[in-house]
């Protein structure tokens, strides 16, 4: 009887290893998973208890949708790759706008209705999106994946520094008040002819102060130490220890943070032991056609980004995917979004930071993500355990983020190394312009402020801009001659840890 070798993606590891590797995936995505419900919940002006419920629901759905994606159900649901599912940041802008227009429970019900509607549309169009696979040869996928990694580096660096770049400074309020008072006094003392309009106040530049919490040297030292620990374990560790280098680096970083008094467990002590996530906790959703359309556009962006991530995982794991597998993965994005709306949370997509973790560890088994999904389910129902993970400082995660997100960019570069630039010099133009387009929102975050406000969520995604540029330029220079096999040709390259 012939022996059929199990692909590394389908390999079932021992329970202890699965638990540790799964926890590593959870720690990597946890900060991003809880960020969206925190932002949207506060924009809706919900009570702290309601925001906490959003977080628990988010964790629960992260686990549930991850299980669906990694395990697969039948031929049409789940891509069956090591994928972690989480709330997409692409939807934050539109949801905050909706929350500002209609805060409170009514606004939450409208947002959940828009999410459910967009999820249903996404399920319907997944096969159509999957047929675009032939438009994604290595020159396109490599460019997109490189931009995904570069874009994520902003997140990792923000973790290490204490927040996004705008937090580096804060308004000097006393000085600004003094400037306003002085300008008012000057205007009042100036003689204004009868019937003439008083001149506008001239204040000059708004006075700013450096934020002492941003880029704090002690936090940077811990992030750098975590990075050093990960590199040392990767260099000298063997077997399982090397595979969980990121987890061990985070644990060591937490020990240092506790010793420095920068990590405490007060939230853990206050949290309840058990809570149940129930559907429609805010009441039945409401469906506004314009809001559904807006969220549908966001989901199209999400599905394009997911295509790049799935192709990256195909390359990292060495398991080729075709149109059917891609459609199953994209369909799960839509299904997960419907589940999110039902359980009082938000649109779901594959988390790209966990793609980087697969590359770092070299562990390709999807059962690791199954284990991580179970852990997320438990965290969603046990707020005390969730509070324990939540207490990990972001600067500790920052040291690990530099490794993981850099690995995503390195994967894109490795794919681009398989492209023939000698026989086809046009490929250089495709790579150059695509990466340049993807950098626009990073270097000029408000570049689209003069454009229609409805386009902002789309134009704010460097990944989408890079995807559009790469596909369009490839069609312009090379046509649509490539088949689906060419779209995953980069999978022939050896894995970085082979």
The phi, psi pair for 450, rounded to 5°, reads -90, 0
Q: What is the predicted pLDDT for the residue at 483?
A: 47
CA distance to 106, 120, 124, 456, per residue, from 117 (Å): 17, 5, 11, 21
Q: How many of the other CB atoms lie within 10 Å of CB of 38?
A: 14
How is 375-388 classified by DSSP, letter by letter? HHHHHHH-HHHHHH
| Residue 335: pLDDT band with limits 50, 70, 90 | very high
The structural domains of the chain, with segments of one domain joined by +, span 8-164+211-492
Mean pLDDT across 9-24? 83
Going by C-beta distance under 8 Å and a sequence separation of 6 or more, which residues neighbour residue 290? none
Q: What is the predicted pLDDT for the residue at 430?
A: 93
Q: Angle CA(232)–CA(354)–CA(491) in degrees, nearest 5?
A: 90
Say which residue the tokens 């997960």 belong to. 336
Q: What is the predicted pLDDT for the residue at 64?
A: 92
Q: What is the pLDDT of residues 469-490, one digit of tens each?
A: 988 999 998 886 654 445 444 3
- List the beta strands (DSSP E) in 45-138: 85-87
Q: What is the predicted pLDDT for the residue at 201?
A: 59
Q: What is the predicted pLDDT for the residue at 239?
A: 66
Question: Would residue 195 be called left, alpha or beta, if left means φ above 0 and alpha means ψ between -120 and 50 degrees?
Answer: left
- Of 184, 111, 159, the closest CA to residue 344 belongs to 111
Q: What is the pLDDT of residues 43-102, one digit of tens each?
A: 788 877 777 788 888 889 989 999 999 888 878 888 888 888 888 766 776 777 778 778
Q: What is the pLDDT of residues 136-173, one digit of tens each?
A: 788 887 888 788 778 778 777 888 887 767 777 777 77
Mean pLDDT across 332-352? 88
Q: What is the predicted pLDDT for the residue at 498?
A: 31
Lowest-confidence region among 85-89, 211-215, 494-498: 494-498
Q: What is the pLDDT of residues 106-132, one digit of tens each?
A: 888 989 999 999 999 999 988 887 777
Q: What is the predicted pLDDT for the residue at 497?
A: 32
pTM over 0.95: no
Assess contact for 79 and 68: CB atoms under 8 A.
Answer: no
Average pLDDT, the chain: 79
Say which residue the tokens 């996928």 belong to. 141
Dist CA 345 CA 61 (whole Å): 8
Going by C-beta distance under 8 Å and a sequence separation of 6 or more, which residues neighbour residue 174? none
């Amino acid at each position: 009887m012939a022996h059929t070798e199990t692909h590394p993606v389908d390999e079932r590891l021992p329970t202890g290893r699965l638990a540790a590797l799964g926890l590593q995936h959870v720690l990597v995505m946890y900060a991003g998973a809880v960020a969206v419900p925190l932002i949207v919940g506060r924009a809706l002006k919900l009570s702290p208890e309601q925001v906490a419920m959003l977080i628990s629901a988010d964790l629960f759905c992260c686990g549930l949708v991850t299980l669906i994606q990694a395990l697969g159900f039948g031929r049409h649901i789940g891509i069956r790759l090591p994928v972690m599912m989480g709330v997409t940041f692409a939807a934050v802008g539109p949801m905050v706008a909706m929350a500002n227009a209609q805060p409170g429970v009514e606004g939450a019900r409208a947002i959940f209705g828009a999410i459910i509607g967009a999820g249903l549309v996404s399920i319907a169009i997944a096969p159509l999106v999957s047929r675009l696979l032939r438009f994604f040869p290595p020159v396109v996928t490599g460019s997109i994946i490189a931009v995904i990694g570069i874009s994520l580096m902003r997140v990792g660096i923000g973790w290490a520094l204490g927040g996004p770049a705008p937090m580096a400074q804060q308004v000097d309020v006393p000085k600004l008040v003094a400037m306003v008072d002085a300008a008012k006094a000057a205007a009042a003392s100036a003689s204004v002819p009868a019937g003439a309009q008083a001149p506008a106040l001239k204040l000059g530049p708004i006075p700013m102060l450096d934020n002492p919490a941003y880029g704090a040297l002690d936090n940077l030292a811990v992030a750098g130490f975590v990075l050093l620990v990960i590199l040392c374990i990767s260099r000298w560790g063997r077997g399982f220890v090397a595979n969980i280098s990121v987890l061990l680096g985070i644990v060591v970083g937490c020990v240092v943070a506790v010793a420095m008094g920068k990590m405490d467990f007060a939230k853990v002590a206050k949290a309840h032991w058990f809570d149940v996530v129930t559907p429609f906790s805010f009441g039945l959703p409401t469906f506004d056609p314009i809001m559904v359309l807006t969220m549908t556009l966001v989901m199209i962006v999400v599905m394009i980004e997911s295509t790049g991530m799935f192709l990256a995982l195909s390359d990292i794991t060495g398991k080729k995917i075709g149109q059917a597998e891609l459609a199953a993965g994209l369909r799960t994005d839509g299904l997960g979004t419907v589940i999110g709306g039902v359980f009082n949370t938000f649109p779901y997509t594959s988390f790209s930071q966990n793609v980087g973790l697969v590359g770092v560890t070299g562990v390709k088994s999807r059962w690791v993500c199954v284990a991580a999904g179970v852990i997320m389910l438990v965290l969603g129902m046990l707020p005390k355990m969730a509070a324990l993970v939540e207490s990990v400082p972001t600067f500790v995660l920052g040291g690990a983020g530099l490794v993981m997100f850099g690995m995503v960019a390195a994967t894109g570069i490795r794919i681009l190394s398989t492209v023939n630039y000698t026989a086809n010099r046009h490929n250089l133009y495709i790579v150059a312009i695509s990466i340049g387009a993807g950098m626009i929102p990073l270097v000029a975050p408000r570049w689209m402020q003069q454009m229609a406000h409805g386009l902002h969520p789309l134009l704010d995604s460097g990944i989408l801009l890079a995807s559009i540029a790469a596909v369009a330029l490839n069609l312009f220079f090379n046509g649509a001659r490539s088949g689906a096999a060419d779209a995953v040709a980069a999978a022939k390259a050896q894995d970085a840890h082979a």
